[in-house]
Amino acid sequence: MAPLEAKAEQRDNAVILQVTGEVDSYTAPLLDEHLAAAFTEAARLGFAVVLDMTGVSFLSSSGLSVLVDHHTRGEDQGTPLRVVAPAGSVLRALRATMLNDLLELHATLPEALAAG
């Protein structure tokens, strides 16, 4: 099992949260904490949150639930959530659950940053 690692930075009117590893029932609470902090900072600055999942090798239903919760939070507070999910297991999980229709997905980080 690859541990979940997250790194946040501010760039181009966005709080970028780059996540690597696996998002499963054990690591989803950590993702939730990192996203909550990113949304708090983004709301304070009037920025979007960009979740870069390029380095994520596995996304479980627990992780999907975290994404939906923060998407809803973002809509409620007017802070967009943009998810970078290139081809791979993350994109397959999002498509299989039809969350690709709900979430704002981008293939690359520059594309997500330009969406603002």
Q: What does pLDDT average to in each consecutive run of 10 residues of the chain (116 residues)? A: 89 96 96 98 96 96 97 95 94 95 97 93
With respect to CATH, is domain 14-114 assigned 3.30.750.24? yes
Q: Strand pairing of 14-23 and 5-11?
A: antiparallel
Domain ranges of the chain: 14-114
Task: Show Cβ contacts of residue 55 under 8 Å, excluding neighbours closer than 6 positions.
Answer: 18, 19, 20, 21
**pLDDT for res 57:** 95
**What is the predicted pLDDT for the residue at 44?**
95
Confidence (pLDDT) at 3: 86
State residue 112's pLDDT score: 97
Distance from the Cα of residue 47 to its chain's centroid: 14
pLDDT score, position 37: 98
Q: pLDDT at position 1, please?
A: 59
